[in-house]
Amino acid sequence: MFVGNAKEKFFYHNTLLCLVKALQDQSTVIDLRNDSYVCGIISSVDGFMNISMSNVVYCDSQGNEYSFENMFIHARNIRYVHVPQTFSILTTIRNELTKTKQKIIPKKPVEKSRKAKKALKLHMETVASI
């Protein structure tokens, strides 16, 4: 189940964040906005798509490569997350969202006021006469 505040849960269920979250513990490539890229294993993804990676190789725009044990990538610096070809995007999203479905507790129906009941009765009589 996804853990986070209400805003993070909204992003998780209404954006492709759930797909990136499904890539945890997978090796992938992330293109950054400064024309560099990072290859490594995604350790964790938070509700704003900030990504922590391990065993990382960072390649800058000049082609220089640097190895890091851990790296944190802020969401605003991400241009593109490469999804491995072994993943079926639609099934991965479905599986990730069904994993996090919560039980919806039905609410007790709201008791209508006398004025609302009278207006509804009048409306139904008008509709029936048409």
Q: What is the pLDDT of residues 48-60, one digit of tens each?
A: 999 999 999 999 9
Strand ordering across the sheet containing 78-81: 65-73, 51-59, 37-45, 27-32, 78-81
Query: Would you say residue 62 lies in a domain?
Result: yes
Domain membership of residue 89 (yes or no) is yes
Q: What is the pLDDT of residue 111?
A: 75
In a domain, 114, yes or no: no
In a domain, 13, yes or no: yes
Contact 101, 75 (CB under 8 A): no
Token representation of residue 74:
């802020």
Confidence band, pLDDT 50/70/90 cuts, at residue 5: confident
Number of domains in the chain: 1
The proportion of the chain whose per-residue pLDDT surpasses 70, expressed as a percent, equals 92
33 falls within a domain: yes
Residue-range definition of the domain harbouring residue 18: 6-104
pLDDT surpasses 80 at 21: yes
In a domain, 119, yes or no: no
**130: in domain:** no
Give the pLDDT score at 44: 94
* Domain CATH code at residue 36: 2.30.30.100
